[in-house]
Amino acid sequence: MAVEAKPRLRISINGEYLRVARLVEGLGIATVCESALCPNIGECWGSGTATFMIMGDTCTRGCRFCYVKKGKPEPLDPGEPWRVAVAVKTLKLDYVTITSVDRDDLPDGGASHFAATVRAVKKLNPGVKVEALIPDFQGVREHVELVARSGLEVLAHNIETVRRLTPLVRDRRAGYEQSLRVLEYAKEARPGLVTKSSILLGLGEEWGEVVEAMRDLRSVGVDILVLSQYLRPSPKQLPVAKRYKLSEFRELAEIGRRLGFAYVVAHPLARTSYKAKEAYLAAIARMKGGGEEQAS
């Protein structure tokens, strides 16, 4: 029988949280923090950081774990890249994460818009570090390469779940091998680029399948791994099959270290962009041989 997870989440509302909220609303910028009901929104917004979601808030895919709105998206806004850059400057960020919905309606899946946003942020904010959490662009190598070569520091793409459960959990246009290829294409396009992926736990996977997925990610050179508990956002999404213990997260983090990931974030409430700056800095230190093996 599936056991439903019922976490108690407490969002801390402070002055910085409200300032970020007002800025985001005033600039007409969507954030994955709100759209995906991220459990860390209080902590991240309270510290003056946010993950910007470009290309609208409506996804063309229907993954069965995701709360983001599905349907027919609006046309792209050509002014969005600059507005995101202005928001980064106004917030005085030194590390920014940019993500998006899937846009299968666009010829390149939105890759050129993604690249334009990265370039705009870099142009207005010299020195800022940029992480992009991208869709799969239907597995087209040239589209992945366009974003990989746009000037960012970290390219993230999530496999989301283990191989066996992918057809159940993700949209039919997604694919386990396709996601692995996306991460491989990014690494081949820029060998020094830090790559990152995430696995949601509690969807019905077996322990050995999780370890296999971790090995698969290392086989394509992924540097940063995020492991988190799947939390059912509404009755429309898949039920939670298992609630992992903290000790299990710690054990998986140790396995990740032994497999060679430069950094592992393993926590029930972790999400891909959670502690992104910390993960990047630690991964870079270890990749250069100057850091200790770490996990969070």
- Reported as a single tens digit per residue, the pLDDT across 5-62 is 344 434 444 455 555 656 666 655 655 444 444 444 444 444 445 688 899 989 999 9
pLDDT of residue 167: 97
In this structure, which topology does domain 15-287 adopt according to CATH? TIM Barrel (3.20.20)
Cα distances (angstroms) measured from residue 296 to each of 1, 98, 137, 159, 279: 31, 22, 30, 20, 9
pLDDT score of 1: 33
Q: Which of 119, 54, 112, 111 is nearest to 80 (CA)?
A: 54
Q: Are strands 224-229 and 194-201 parallel, antiparallel or unpaired?
A: parallel
| The two structure tokens encoding residue 197 | 């992926």
Q: What is the pLDDT of residue 92?
A: 80
Indicate the pairing of strand 95-100 with strand 129-133: parallel
Question: What's the mean per-residue pLDDT of the chain?
Answer: 86
Q: Is the pTM of this model over 0.75?
A: yes
Low-confidence ranges of the chain (pLDDT < 70): 1-50, 290-296
Amino acid of residue 175: G
**What pLDDT sits at residue 178?**
98
